[in-house]
Amino acid sequence: MSDPAIRIALVTLGVEDLARASAFYEAMGLKRSRASQATIHFYDMDGVVLGLFPNDLLAEDAGVAADGHGFRRQTLAWNVSDAATVDSAFARVLAAGAVSLKPPYKTSWGGYVGHFADPDGHLWEVAHNPFFPLHPNGAVSVPPPREGVKK
Amino acid sequence: MSDPAIRIALVTLGVEDLARASAFYEAMGLKRSRASQATIHFYDMDGVVLGLFPNDLLAEDAGVAADGHGFRRQTLAWNVSDAATVDSAFARVLAAGAVSLKPPYKTSWGGYVGHFADPDGHLWEVAHNPFFPLHPNGAVSVPPPREGVKK
């Protein structure tokens, strides 16, 4: 037993139609884990696991009412290596059934980002951020705290 | 340029009060990256980066209206090494200001899980899942697809 820092191990998205949602993410290159079951599908994304689970079951699990609409107060970011890959990734998500919210554009902070919604309305951005280098596995990391820096 | 699989590099949560949200996650052991700015805070979680960003700015970024209420159709899962750590982690999140939705209980599938909401209502579970072993860094992975298995 220890006191580990909080972390995100899985992100489970509530979906209306599991087959439709799975088709979208699988068209984008994810492979369904053999741990998947009839009502829940898992995808290893090398750092975090994606779960797809029917809305009503997800709400029941959390002990909340399944009602909800509008902005979900979250964006998932998929960072890629360069602007050209943002463009090609954005084209791929649209071809796979996503809705374009903002086609890729140069941001005020020096990045290049496109915003889309998946078939269930979950918000995503595909981004090139020159200040957040990618690890070989595609994950990003951000710099540590300033602790110890005196200026 | 390549055709990488979609992945989650950052999870950015919309918050009402950035100071309140940061205080919660920092009380849970996260260290604020020096890449953080006045209106956005970043936390490296070794596999995925957490962002905290005001609701209205997050909606504007995505090009959607900031209105929304009710169930957000998502749960973030924090997997830990054993049931005792679920209990202690659950006590820690409540002490840090989370709302208990379901205190830790034995699930039908053999896990041990507690559900809570962060100060902005984002849903989380802290879980011990004996079927998803933890990597040394705390990430989980799920088994690969059945491809090649003939039975």
The predicted model gives A106-129 an average pLDDT of 97
Judged by CB atoms closer than 8 Å, whether chains meet at B145 and A32 is answered as yes
pLDDT of A30 > 60? The answer is yes
Do the bridges between strand A123-128 and strand A74-79 make them parallel or antiparallel, or are there none, so unpaired? parallel
How far is C-alpha B35 from the chain's CA centre? 20
| Exposed / middle / buried, residue A62 (Cβ in 10 Å: 0-12, 13-18, 19+) | buried
pLDDT band at A2; cut points 50, 70, 90:
low
A19 and chain B in contact, CB less than 8 A: no
pLDDT beyond 60 at A151: no
- Specify whether the backbone of A46 is left (phi greater than 0), alpha (psi in -120 to 50) or beta: left
> What would the mean pLDDT of A11-39 be, rounded to a whole number?
97
Residues of chain B with Cβ-Cβ distance to A101 below 8 Å are 62-64
Q: Which residues, numbered 59 to 78 in chain B, qualify as contacts with chain A under a Cβ-Cβ cut-off of 8 Å?
A: 59, 61-78
pLDDT band for position A32 (cuts 50, 70, 90): very high
Strand pairing class (B99-106; B112-117):
antiparallel
The sign of the torsion formed by the CA atoms of B39, B37, A139, A88 equals positive
Collect all residues of chain A within an 8 Å Cβ-Cβ radius of residue B128. none
Q: Which two tokens stand for residue B15?
A: 């918050």
CB contact under 8 A, A4 and B84: no
Q: In this complex, do B11 and A9 lie within 8 Å of one another by their Cβ atoms?
A: no
What is the average pLDDT score of chain A? Answer: 94
Alpha-carbon distance of B34 to A135, in angstroms, equals 19
ipTM associated with this complex: 0.93
User: Which tokens hold the place of A22?
Assistant: 């799975």
- A4 — contact with chain B (CB < 8 Å)? yes
Average pLDDT over residues A109-135: 96
Q: Considering only CB atoms, which chain B residues are within 8 Å of A145?
A: 31-34
A149 pLDDT higher than 90? no
Average pLDDT, chain B: 94
Give me the percent of chain A exceeding a pLDDT of 70. Answer: 96
Contacts of B11 in chain A (CB under 8 A): 8, 11, 74, 76-77
- Domain annotation for chain B: domains and CATH numbers: 8-67 (3.10.180.10), 70-143 (3.10.180.10)
Give the residue-averaged pLDDT of A110-117. Answer: 98
- If you average pLDDT over residues A33-57, what whole number do you get? 96
**What pLDDT is attached to residue A150?**
47
User: Quick one: pLDDT band at residue A141, thresholds 50, 70, 90?
Assistant: confident
Cβ <8 Å between A7 and B138: yes
Q: Give the pLDDT mean for A100-121.
A: 97
Query: What is the pLDDT tens value at each position of chain B, 151 positions in all?
Result: 468 999 999 999 999 999 999 999 999 999 999 999 999 999 999 999 999 999 999 999 999 999 999 999 999 999 999 999 999 999 999 999 999 999 999 999 999 999 999 999 999 999 999 999 999 989 998 999 987 644 4
Residue A138 has pLDDT above 80, yes or no: yes
